[in-house]
Amino acid sequence: MKALKYTTETVLITGASSGLGVEFARRLAARGANLVLVARREGRLQALAELLEASYGIKAIALAKDLAVPGAGTELQAELDARDITVTSLINNAGFANYTRFTEVEPRNLHNEIAVNIDALVELTRAYLPRFLERASGFLVNVSSIAAMQPSPGMAAYGASKAFVLNFTEALWAENRHCGVRILALCPGPTDTEFFHVAGSEKADGGMKRMEPEAVVTDCLKTLEKKSPPPSRVVGTSNGVLSSLPGFLPRRVVANAMRLKMDM
């Protein structure tokens, strides 16, 4: 597979107004990539776009979009096409959780969680992956989580959505392994971002030490830049060990252990 040349890339990043999204934008801009930054908070996006353009001499476009709205991904693609903006790579980073028992999650919040974590990710992947394959270049990064490796009491829908992202992305990797496009499911552990505020509890980290966004993105880019990237990457040695344990234990033991860990 050809080496990545960021200066020829225009990367669409969702969830780009905070956390991992901001860090991905900074790192890619520093490497010379142009960016399309997508999130709901227009003010933050515009400020970030202006900063990156001034700092690195790249082009950064800020587009405020609520990905929980049905058809938002298709609408986004149509808007970019109308502006003759060719997206060459995609980072599906947007996602959030509701930390509480499933029966206590407001139906609207649950709907939005699934819409952002799964529906928008699939829609954008379907919109852009064929174009990447036609050019036989670029990359697709779908942000999953170590929550994908086992049930997540207290964040039942979130863990399930990330399991979907992991399996979906690995399947795409297998389908298109020799087509010139790098496809990666990124599985970080708890990371020091606004995730916990949005989820509604600091306990959503299960008592685990949180990683810094810089470390997660560094690991992701190193993995992506390999000559033959794997279909998925668990970030952090300890996270890798913990993620492997469910494969050696009965499912009921794992589920109950996670219930205790998540204080449910």
Average pLDDT, the chain: 94
Residue 259: what pLDDT?
A: 87
- For the chain, domains (ranges, CATH) are 6-261 (3.40.50.720)
pLDDT digits 0-9 by tens, 125-144? 999 999 999 999 999 999 99
Active site (annotated) includes residue 56: no
Q: How far, rounded to the nearest angstrom, does the alpha carbon of residue 96 sit from its chain's CA centroid?
A: 10
Q: Which structure tokens are listed for 97?
A: 């959780």
Residue-wise over 186-204: b if at least 16 C-beta within 10 A, else e?
bbbbbbbbebbeebebeeb
Determine contact, residues 233/59, Cβ cutoff 8 Å.
Answer: no
Torsion angle, alpha carbons of 59, 61, 67, 72, to 10: -110
- Determine which one of 6, 99, 128, 158 is catalytic: 158
Mean pLDDT by 10 residues, the chain (264 residues): 92 97 98 97 96 98 96 96 98 96 96 97 98 97 95 95 98 96 96 88 84 96 96 88 79 85 80
Query: What are φ and ψ of residue 91, in 5° steps?
Result: -120, 105
pLDDT digits 0-9 by tens, 220-257? 999 999 999 999 999 987 787 777 877 778 888 888 88
Which residues does 51 contact at the CB level (< 8 Å), separation at least 6?
none
- The sheet carrying 60-64 orders its strands as 60-64, 34-39, 10-14, 89-92, 139-143, 182-187, 232-234
